[in-house]
Amino acid sequence: MKKTLFSIFCISSAFISAQVTGSKTVGADYASLAAAINDLNTNGVGAGGVTFNIPADYTEIAPSGGFTITATGTAANPIKFVKSGIGANPTFTASDMQVVSTITDAVFKIVGGDYITLDGLTLQENAANTVLVDAATNNMTEFGVALLTASTTDGAQNNTVQNCTISLNRLYRNSFGIYSNVLHSSTDAVTLANITSATGANSNNKFYTNAISNVNVGLSFIGSLTAAFMDTGNDIGGTSAGTGNTLTNWGGNSTFSAYVAIVTNSLGIYDTNQMGENFSYNTVTSASLTSPVTIFGILKFYNGGQPAGTFTSNVNNNTVSVANTPTTATVGTIVCVSSQGLTPLLATATLNINNNIVQNSTISGAVSTTVGISGISNSSVPGIINLTGNIVQNNSINATTSTIGGITCLSNSGAAGTANLTGNSILNNSITSPAATGAIMLGIINSGAVATSNINNNILRGFATTSTSGQMQSILSTGAVTTAVNINNNQLGNTDGGLLTASAANSGTLFGVLAQGLLPAASLSIQNNDIRGIVYNTTSSASQNYIQFTHASATTDNILNNTFTNLNINSTGSVGFIVRGTTGGNMTATGVENVNNNSIVTGFNKTAAGGTISLYSAAASSVSGSIMNQTGNNFSNITFTGATAMNGWNNTEGASGTNSPAKNISGNTFTNWNGGISAVLAITSNFGANNTIIANNVIDAISSQGTLTGISIGASNGGTQSLSGNTVSNLLTSAISATGILFGASNGQNVFKNKIVNISATGAATAANSVSGISATGIPLTFNIYNNVIGKLSAPAGNGTDVVRGISFTGTTALSTIKLYYNSVYLDAVSTGTNFGTSALYHTFSTTATSASLDSRNNIFINNSTPAGTGTAASFRRSAATNLNNYAASSNNNLYYAGTSAAGNIIYSDGTNNDQTLAAFKSRVSTRDAVSQTENTTFQSIVGPDPNFLKIAAGTVSLAESGAQSISTITDDYFGIARPFFNPTNGGTATDIGASEFDGKITTLAVSDTTSKQGVSIYREGQNFTVRSSSAKITTVEVIEATGRTLLKNQSNSDSVSIPAERLNIGVYLIKVTLQNGTQTLLKIRK
């Protein structure tokens, strides 16, 4: 800033009158603009300032070096050079007498001047200046307008350049449209001369509505290396579209000369060492370049000096387009908008890069090996970095050879206090290349070690590639964030367009949301994001991870309410919907993970066979004290084909069985899956800590051609866990194996109130236990199984002697106890197989009483299956007849039924003995099951989907009524009815057998004669008595009251006759049996 000097009080009036004031006209008051400026520089400006009116269509050639203004104005006494009248802008052409080799020539220079306005002028290079191949021989013009210092304490401030048109020669690498630099003198641009005070800065200048073209560098503003003296308040573009500057046909290379603080890149707008500046509403469109260097559309940079204090810098509402066909394989990257160089953290600084449009930028050509496009990026470290509301669209790489540079649309790598990458739209960016490796498509990225990272409310859609490889990373957070990472409400594809279209067979992994690197103390939120529209036009091998996070959390991670909408994936690669990373992802003892209410919308279809689908997967080594809540998720309507495995909800997180998270996997829905030939599992849990809960999940309508398992509980769980309220239904495989719930050996399991129905393997199963409701191949040390309903299991083509089992215990884990109470099992399987057998309950024998010890009480085991060939329908089957050591003596009060007694319908089998009658079974296992019963219980429904499946209606006459022994720890039934039934009205006196507690009617039946007489015996069977003869056919059975009156008479010609007890009153009766050989026998019964 010029200082007004006062030497003495008395100044001649002649001098005062020579100051230039008022309104002057070039061509009238002055013969030329050069004369006017000479007068101004000589005499200064007077009171009120001066306006030089330059008529429209006026032309003039500048003097050698340019019009140089050294005079200074003030706010009260401004200096203005303005167009007047209607017509073309006054045109000022650079001198054709520039001094060879100088690099500070201009059309206009403001040297230390203040409050100077250039308005409505056209500034252009002289066509006679053609020597541009190097700086040493050049006769070119460097600057359209230059703002330079008069001294290290006198800069150019409060100037305005507006409505001007500037055009030089872009092929001359030292050409600048507008240039401002306080680090060198006005005559020596390569020697550092840093200013020494704030008055030496070029501050508070304004540049509005200028059209700049045909220059190598569009606008360049370089401030001091000293924080206190940096330029402040420069405004390039104003606050509306009407004040923005337009830059076209610029760029191509770095400058020939080493201008102080100019980087060796091609530059559209260069903003360095500025504070509180505004670069907004500018349109920056490069020439079609063949640049061998990196090209920056807008570069905000701190070069050699760092700012201080509180300020806000704005790079907003600009539109940038850059096109390059590189000439060298490793250079020529396009960086459209970038902020760099501010470091370390300046907490009082705010950087806004908002509402910019980066569009139609292209890299083309045969050589594009490592170059790429960066849309909007920041590596500076302010207190707050805002990258919001930007649009990055229609940018492309069109390379005929491979590229690994790729397109990075919006990124922050600076370790700012808060990084807000929000409300941006990333649209229709593409790569056309035959092969690409590395991360070739990057949507929105924070890699900076910020305190808080917000990546919210963004739209990403329309990515397209013809490449055969290279990753697609949509939203990525890899920075060492210290406080919080929030990735919420983003649309990865929407109704206006999908996320990605790959036209060639592609092998590159696709990541939807990827979060990793954040510190343990930081929280993680990935919520309300939607992913849709991933299209592979040619069958590909690309893997997919839609949400992946790796976090050694000591706080809380929330993965909530994310949706995966109608994805149709034509790829053989694996698919992970929600993936918890393994390496470096171990939660500490205070870590909490919530993965809740995520869902597939409409459906998911993987049309290409291969790989594995994981709805959720976790396999890191989180430790005790950590918690995993996974509730309310709905992953339904899934179709996959061929050799595609389905791992479903797969949680094997934990360091060991005794050092692992407590897990709550509850209220999730997995329905309507159609699979291929590989294995399908809906829920897998292992390495769960004490109090792990798997509850109220619905697994329904799953069909497959491979092995099917509803819930699988691993062998490395610790503590006592509960599995309750789950529904596993309608599992159908055309293969040979299906299991409702599968257990391995672990510490303790409470399994209650689960419904397992309609499980079928239609293949020609021959192996035992091919279909099972509950199957334990290893026995938890404490295994409490109660109040479960199991039924409608089938193997319609099974060909084996024990293909279907309701409950199966095949493990013999040492020191393990099975407490099997109040369960209801109902089988009615039929098979076309030659040999077909089933078991309602199966138990593996062990000589060691404490290995898989079975304490079975109060259960209903009904097997109405149809046996075939050598198969048997058994109510209870054990693996061997060696001994009963591990069948606990406390077992009792069960209800067994296996159909009408026959060789294939047996109450009990041990592989050697087949007991057709309850009496024979009781005799074999005595003293166990002493008061167990047999009947074909009547249920309200035996239709699996019916909510009353295996429920017994009030008023039903059944031996289950009051037939159980009380177990104080079990206080209600499967249906939530209290045990024993509250206020019974039908005579109930105790709790009931089976999973249904009901207000039933008691029937007490007793056989007084327990021995066979003349080959005739009588025994109880459910609510009836059955008379059987082993010596001859029965012709007549009479029931005689105590009075001698015949109450009932049954004519027969069979080995057995049933007497309906419901027709008998309470009392004692004689049974008179007449055989075909004439023998008569009397037996006694009591009701």
pLDDT digit string, tens, across residues 489-505: 999 999 999 999 999 99
Residue 439 scores a pLDDT above 80: no
Q: What pLDDT score does 8 carry? A: 30
Q: What pLDDT score does 1006 carry? A: 54
CB 932 within 8 A of CB 922: yes
What are the DSSP E strand ranges found in 189-310? 206-208, 211-215, 217-222, 231-232, 235-236, 246-250, 266-272, 274-275, 278-280, 283-289, 295-301
Residue 93 has which token pair? 């052409």
| In the chain, domain spans | 358-525, 543-735, 750-934, 1006-1086
Q: Which of 166-180, 377-391, 718-732, 1035-1049 has the lowest mean pLDDT?
A: 1035-1049
Residue 405 scores a pLDDT above 90: no
Q: What pLDDT score does 1084 carry? A: 65
Pairing of strands 59-61, 91-93: parallel
Pairing of strands 720-724, 693-695: parallel
Residue 1052 scores a pLDDT above 90: no
Buried b (16+ CB within 10 A) or exposed e, 472-493: bbbbbbbbebbbbbbbbbbbbb
Tell me how far apart the alpha carbons of residues 577 and 616 are, in angstroms, rounded to a whole number: 6
Q: Which residue has the higher pLDDT, 136 or 1004?
A: 136
pLDDT digit string, tens, across residues 806-853: 999 999 999 999 999 999 999 999 999 999 999 999 999 999 999 999
What are the DSSP E strand ranges found in 273-345? 274-275, 278-280, 283-289, 295-301, 311-316, 319-324, 334-340
Residue 201 scores a pLDDT above 80: yes
What are the DSSP E strand ranges found in 753-909? 755-761, 771-776, 782-786, 789-794, 800-809, 817-821, 824-827, 836-843, 853-857, 860-863, 873-878, 895-897, 905-909
Tell me how far apart the alpha carbons of residues 219 and 147 are, in angstroms, rounded to a whole number: 11
pLDDT digit string, tens, across residues 663-705: 999 999 999 999 999 999 999 999 999 999 999 999 999 999 9
Tell me how far apart the alpha carbons of residues 105 and 102 are, in angstroms, rounded to a whole number: 7
Tell me how far apart the alpha carbons of residues 71 and 442 are, in angstroms, rounded to a whole number: 52
CB atoms under 10 Å from CB of 561, counted, come to 18
Residue 7 scores a pLDDT above 70: no
Residue 149 scores a pLDDT above 60: yes
Confidence of residue 1057 (pLDDT cuts 50, 70, 90): confident
pLDDT digit string, tens, across residues 760-815: 999 999 999 999 999 999 999 999 999 999 999 999 999 999 999 999 999 999 99
Tell me how far apart the alpha carbons of residues 827 and 773 are, in angstroms, rounded to a whole number: 10
Residue 781 has which token pair? 């040390």
Q: Which residue has the tokens 């089992």?
A: 805
* pLDDT (mean) for 447-462: 98
Confidence of residue 369 (pLDDT cuts 50, 70, 90): low
DSSP state of 229: G
Q: What pLDDT score does 1030 carry? A: 74
* pLDDT (mean) for 570-581: 98
Q: Is 3.90.70.10 the CATH number for 1006-1086? A: no
Phi-psi region of 722 (alpha: psi -120 to 50; beta: other; left: phi over 0): beta
* pLDDT (mean) for 703-720: 96
Give the three-state DSSP class for 227: helix
* pLDDT (mean) for 174-179: 98
CB atoms under 10 Å from CB of 665, counted, come to 27
Give the three-state DSSP class for 947: coil
Residue 1005 scores a pLDDT above 80: no
pLDDT digit string, tens, across residues 578-606: 999 988 899 999 999 999 999 999 999 99
Contacts of 373 (CB under 8 A, 6+ apart): 333, 334, 336, 361, 362, 363, 395, 397, 405, 406, 407, 408
Handedness of CA 1045, 1050, 1053, 1057 (dihedral sign): negative
Contacts of 495 (CB under 8 A, 6+ apart): none
Give the three-state DSSP class for 861: strand
Give the three-state DSSP class for 547: strand
Q: How far is CA 386 from the centre of its chain?
A: 24
Residue 613 scores a pLDDT above 60: yes
Mean pLDDT of the chain: 93
Contacts of 494 (CB under 8 A, 6+ apart): 459, 461, 530, 532, 533
Q: What pLDDT score does 13 carry? A: 34
Backbone φ and ψ of 969, nearest 5° = -80, -10
Q: Which of 343-352, 623-632, 1034-1043 has the lowest mean pLDDT?
A: 1034-1043
Tell me how far apart the alpha carbons of residues 1044 and 52 are, in angstroms, rounded to a whole number: 142
Q: What pLDDT score does 9 carry? A: 31
Q: What pLDDT score does 430 carry? A: 94
Partners of residue 220 on adjacent β-strands: 179, 270
Q: What pLDDT score does 1019 carry? A: 65
Q: What pLDDT score does 711 carry? A: 98
Q: Which of 15-24, 80-89, 104-113, 805-814 has the lowest mean pLDDT?
A: 15-24
Q: Is the pTM of this model over 0.85?
A: yes
Confidence of residue 437 (pLDDT cuts 50, 70, 90): low
Confidence of residue 74 (pLDDT cuts 50, 70, 90): very high
Q: Which residue has the tokens 């040390």?
A: 781
Residue 1043 scores a pLDDT above 70: no
* pLDDT (mean) for 399-423: 90
pLDDT digit string, tens, across residues 858-915: 999 999 999 999 999 999 999 999 999 999 999 999 999 999 989 999 999 999 999 9
Residue 977 Cα distances to 311, 350, 511, 567, 787, angstroms:
69, 63, 49, 43, 11
- Three-state SS for 631-679 is ECCECCCEEECCCCEEEEEEECCCCECCECCEEEEECCEEEEEECCCCC
Contacts of 1033 (CB under 8 A, 6+ apart): 1052, 1053, 1054, 1055, 1075, 1076
CB atoms under 10 Å from CB of 190, counted, come to 13
Residue 752 has which token pair? 């209650």
Q: What pLDDT score does 11 carry? A: 33
Q: What pLDDT score does 399 carry? A: 79
| Percent of the chain at pLDDT exceeding 70 | 94
Q: What pLDDT score does 1047 carry? A: 78
| Sheet hosting strand 1056-1060, strand order edge to edge | 1016-1021, 1024-1029, 1056-1060
